[in-house]
Structures are given as C-alpha cells and as structure tokens.
Structure 1
Amino acid sequence: MPSLTLGKITNYLSAIAPFICLAGIVVLQSQEYKKSTQELETANYLRQEQAQARKIRYQGQTPTLNFDNLIANWTYLNFVQYFGDEPARQTIGYELVPNYFETISKLDPNFTEASLRLAIANSMYAGYPEQTVTMMEQLLELVDPKSEQSAALWTSKGLDELLFLGDKKAATNSYEMADKWRKVSNNSNVAESEIDITKISELELKEAQIRAWSGVLVHVKDMKRKTEIMEKINILKLEISALQERAQD
C-alpha cells in the first residue's frame, strides 16, 4: 500500500515537473526582463542628464546680450522640470542641482526665490550642504540687501552651517546678518530668527546633525557620496558617545 501511494506521488510529480520548470523559467525571464528594463531606463536617464548638463553649460557660458534675467528664468524653469522628474531623480539622483545653482546665481544674483529653493535642493537632495554654504557666501557678495527675501538667504545659510557643519559661530553670524538685512529690506515676509544658538548644547547639536544627514542620505544615489555621508554620521555617533561618557564621569 505505501509503495502504491509512493508511486502515485511519483507519477504526479513527473506530470507536473514540466510545469514547475516552465514556471521557473518564466520567473527567471521576468526578473531578467525587469533588470534589463531598469538598466535601459537608467541609461536613458543618464543620457538625458548629460544633455541637460551641456544645456546648463551653454546657458552659463553663452553671451547674454543683457538678457541675464530672462536666461536665469529660463534656466530655473529647466531646473523645476529636472527636479520634478521623480522617476529619473529616484533612479540617478540630483547631481545637476549644483550646476543649476551656480549658473542661475551668476546670471541673476537677486533671483532670491530661485536661490533659496536651489540651496535647499543642493543641501537636502543633492547632498552637498558644504558646497551650498560656499556658494551662498559667493552669492551674498553680489545680492542687493534690499532685494526681496534677501535676508532669507542668510537664514538658509545659517541653517546649513548649524545642522550640517555644526558651526555655531558661523551660524550665529549668518542669523545676525539675516536680521540686519531684514531691517534694511523692510520685508515683513522674512521672519526674525528665533533660534537661540547659545542654548543648544553640543550633544543636542550633534544629534540634530545626525537627523539632518540621515534625511539627506535617502535622496543621494551616488555611492561615493553616500559613503561619505555615512562616515559623517558614524563620526557624529562616536562624538556623542564620548560626550555622554564625559558627562557620566
């Protein structure tokens, strides 16, 4: 009786074996197709990005014939389209944001609305807050303090200096400059800084830095930059541990 049952099972398995193999082949082919499609999409996005990079260089290097503002607006519209292409950005990241930022800020330093958004994009999405601070320093030398939202540029710079660089002194200076420019521009839309940096402890600051860098990490696709950010986070964690140990002594 057991041998009869075993024989039935064997016959059954023999009967369905081709279907099992076929199902396996279909799954493998499906996986290969998906991988191939993803590779094609990535290659296509990279080609698009290379074309966009050439366009940005052209817009930044071509004589403007006194149409700087118009070209800056045009370049900014290109940036908005680039930034809003979610499938592409999720696949290859935001590597062209610094290019857009540099080009637009040179063409029209007083295009503060664009500069503020580009600064956030460069720090939080492209993952280059250090570069943002440097570019902001260069930009602020050219900006008219009376231009709309000019004070907010200092506030944005101060936030990057505090949350990413951990530089309380530089951030304090930026917030003070923001308050000065706010009064000069008489722009009520730019709120006075309410951050009292002196009350932020080193431990609190480093914890905030970890949260800030961790928030950036999810948007960065470049593996080299990801590794750099993870190293920054690990160093901050070690520094927090050291501070906690000293506090217990």
Structure 2
Amino acid sequence: MLFLSPQAIGAFITACLCILGVSLLQLPRMQQLISSKQTASLETLEREINTEKLRLNLLKQMPTFGYDNLIANWSYLSFLQYFGDDEVRDRTGYSLSPEYFEVILERDPRFLQAYIGLSTSTSMYAAMPERSIALMKKGLNSLSPWVPHRSYYVWRYKGIDELLFLGDAQNAKQSFQKAANWASNHSDEESKQLAGFSQKTVEFLNRNPNSRYAQIATWTMVLNNKLDDKTRQRAISAIEALGGKVIKNPDGSTKIKLPEKD
C-alpha cells in the first residue's frame, strides 16, 4: 500500500483546486468565444481557418520525440471540436477535415476510430473522397487482419467512399472483399456479421456494377455507424431515393426493405 505524507496530500489537493479554479475562470471566456463566433464576420472566420491550417501544417512537420499517439489524440479532439461546430461549418465548410486526418493518421495509422471520422467528414461533408481514400489506402499499409482489433472496418469505409462518392464499383468491390476476408479471420458475432454483409455487397456488384441493392447496402453501413443526426438523415434520404424503405423497430433498431427490382 502506498502512503503519502501530509505535505504530498496537501500539494495534491492544492493542485486540484488550482485546476478547478482555472477551469471556472475560463468558463465565461469560453462562452464569450462561442458567442463571438456566432456573430463573427466571414472574413474573421476565414482568418481563423487559415491560422488553424498553419498550425496543422506545423504539426505535420514537427518532430514528435516519441509522442506520436499523444499528438494524434490531441489532433483528433481538435477535429471533433471543428466538425461539431455546426453553425460555423455551415458558413465556412469542412475544407480542413482532411488536414486534421493527415496529422492524425501519419502519427497513428492504427487509430481505428479516426477512419470513420475521415470518411464522413472528408468524403461526405468536404466533398473530397479522393483525399479520404488516399489517406485510408496509406493507413492500410500499417494494418493487418488482427491489428488493430476490427481493422476490417477500414476496408469497409474505403469501399463506401469508392462506391457512393466516386461511383467506382470495381475498386469498391475489391475493398468490400478485403473487408469480408479480414473479418472472416475472427469468430465473434460482429465480425461474422460484417463478413457476411460485405460479401453480399460484393455479390450485388458482381451481378450489376450499378446495383441499387449494393448502394442501399452501403448506405445502410453509413446509417449503422450512428455518427450524428445529419449523417443519419442523409443516409435515410439516399436509401429512400434508391427505392428502399427504412423501417424503425420498437427496440430502436432499423430494418431496410429493398425495392422489388435491383
């Protein structure tokens, strides 16, 4: 058992109180910053974006001294703040999204959660699927079917971007096949379900490269990611536009009814 001296305990409590005090002092400043962003001119917001881009470029080039994961995590938190600021993004767009992920995945290509943010923010919102796919392709060089756990999702995200945003059925088919192959190495229920679902999408594309069934299946993958309400609604609208129907079950899950013809 570890015993602390009264002096050490006192120092610890003092440090905690200092941190709490600083946090409380910063709250009005944070509220002021949020309010100022809401009323800031577009020119001011663009200057802030340019400043952030310079910071990200610096992070791409600076030495990390072994703290790659720390920089990746810190950059991911910055991205979440950037992406979640809906009011500002509605005015300025999402052009910095791939810049964040160049930093994140260069420092930690095995950061699995980052790939779904990359796919959604860069392909869907920033309309840069080529950048998203290129970053995934590079990151996959550092992955294997076993490391990190559930790495097969990255192949699936790549296939989603290729099919839905580039209309590249051939490469999408190869990506979904890779997702199925990697997932088949695992015996847990999630992996087995994903392997079967990905294989079914490959079969749709084999029969018909322009398959509505394949596109609906792929939008269903987006829907199941449950990122945010805006992404969810976009996926539902796309499924319905393709002739599918999204049925909500009493337990909150969703069921997709395919159109009668592909």
Common fold, TM-score beyond 0.5?
yes
Deviations 1:136-184 (A, max 9, x none): 1111112243212310110111111112222222111111111122134
What is the correspondence of 1:121-160 to structure 2 with a 5 Å cutoff? 121-146=121-146, 147-160=148-161
The answer for the alignment partner of 1:161 in structure 2 is: 162
1:88 aligns with 2:88: yes
For 1:121 and 1:143, locate their aligned partners in 2 and report how far apart those are by CA, in whole Å: 22
For 2:187 and 2:64, locate their aligned partners in 1 and report how far apart those are by CA, in whole Å: 32
- Percent identity over the alignment? 35
Structure 1, unmatched stretches of 5+, are 1-36, 212-218, 220-249
The residue identity in structure 2 corresponding to 1:163 is L
What is the correspondence of 1:91-240 to structure 2 with a 5 Å cutoff? 91-146=91-146, 147-184=148-185, 188-190=189-191, 191-192=194-195, 193=198, 194-195=200-201, 196-200=204-208, 202=210, 204=212
The residue identity in structure 2 corresponding to 1:151 is Y
Aligned residue for 1:148, secondary structure, equals coil
Aligned residue for 1:80, secondary structure, equals helix
Task: For residue 78 of structure 1, report the CA deviation from its aligned partner.
Answer: 0.3
Kept in 1: contact 2:205–2:211 (CA 8 A) = no
Deviations 1:54-111 (A, max 9, x none): 2212222111111111110000000000001111100010010010111111100000
The answer for the alignment partner of 2:28 in structure 1 is: none
* Count of matched residue positions in the alignment of Structure 1 and Structure 2: 174
For 1:198 and 1:166, locate their aligned partners in 2 and report how far apart those are by CA, in whole Å: 15
Larger Rg: 1
The residue identity in structure 1 corresponding to 2:206 is T
For 1:116 and 1:81, locate their aligned partners in 2 and report how far apart those are by CA, in whole Å: 16
Sort the Cα spacing of 1:43 and 1:61 in 2 relative to 1 into closer, same or farther, 3 A. Answer: same
For 1:38 and 1:59, locate their aligned partners in 2 and report how far apart those are by CA, in whole Å: 28
For 1:92 and 1:98, locate their aligned partners in 2 and report how far apart those are by CA, in whole Å: 15
Aligned residue for 1:202, secondary structure, equals coil
Give the TM-score normalised by structure 2: 0.59
Kept in 1: contact 2:119–2:161 (CA 8 A) = no
The answer for the alignment partner of 1:214 in structure 2 is: none
Structure 2, unmatched stretches of 5+, are 1-36, 220-229, 231-262
For 1:185 and 1:52, locate their aligned partners in 2 and report how far apart those are by CA, in whole Å: 41
Greater relative contact order (Cα 8 A, min sep 6): structure 1 or 2? 1
Task: For residue 204 of structure 1, report the CA deviation from its aligned partner.
Answer: 4.3
1:56 aligns with 2:56: yes
The answer for the alignment partner of 2:252 in structure 1 is: none
The answer for the alignment partner of 1:8 in structure 2 is: none
Give the TM-score normalised by structure 1: 0.62
